[in-house]
Amino acid sequence: MTHQGIQTILPVLLAQADGETATETTGLLDIVLSGGIVGAIILVVLLSLSFLAAYLVFDQVMTLRRSEVLPDGLGETVRQALLTARLPEADAACRREPSVLSVVLLSGMAELDYGWREVEKAVEDALAEQSARMMRRIEYLSVIGNIAPMVGLLGTVTGMIFAFQQVAATRGSAGAGDLAEGIYQALVTTVGGLIVAIPSLAAYAVSRNRVDTLIADVAFQAQHALAPVKRRPTKNVAPPKR
pLDDT in tens, 173-202: 656 666 666 676 677 788 888 999 999 999
Q: How far apart are CA 166 and CA 104, in angstroms?
A: 64
In the chain, where the domains are located: 36-231
Length of the chain: 242
Confidence band (pLDDT; 50, 70, 90) for 44? confident
User: C-alpha angle with apex 158: 38 to 173, nearest 5 degrees?
Assistant: 110
Contact yes or no for 111/119 (Cβ under 8 A): yes
| Secondary element (H or E) of residue 98 | none
Q: What percent of the chain has pLDDT over 90?
A: 31
User: Residue 230's pLDDT band (boundaries 50, 70, 90)?
Assistant: confident
Question: What pLDDT does residue 22 have?
Answer: 41
pLDDT, tens only, 104-115: 999 998 888 888
110: exposed, middle or buried (C-beta count within 10 Å: 0-12, 13-18, 19+)?
A: middle
On whether the CB atoms of residues 108 and 222 are closer than 8 A, the answer is yes
- 3-state class (DSSP) for residue 99: coil
Q: CA–CA distance from 192 to each of 15, 37, 41 (Å)? A: 34, 16, 13
Q: Which amino acid, 105?
A: L
> What's the whole-model pTM score?
0.72
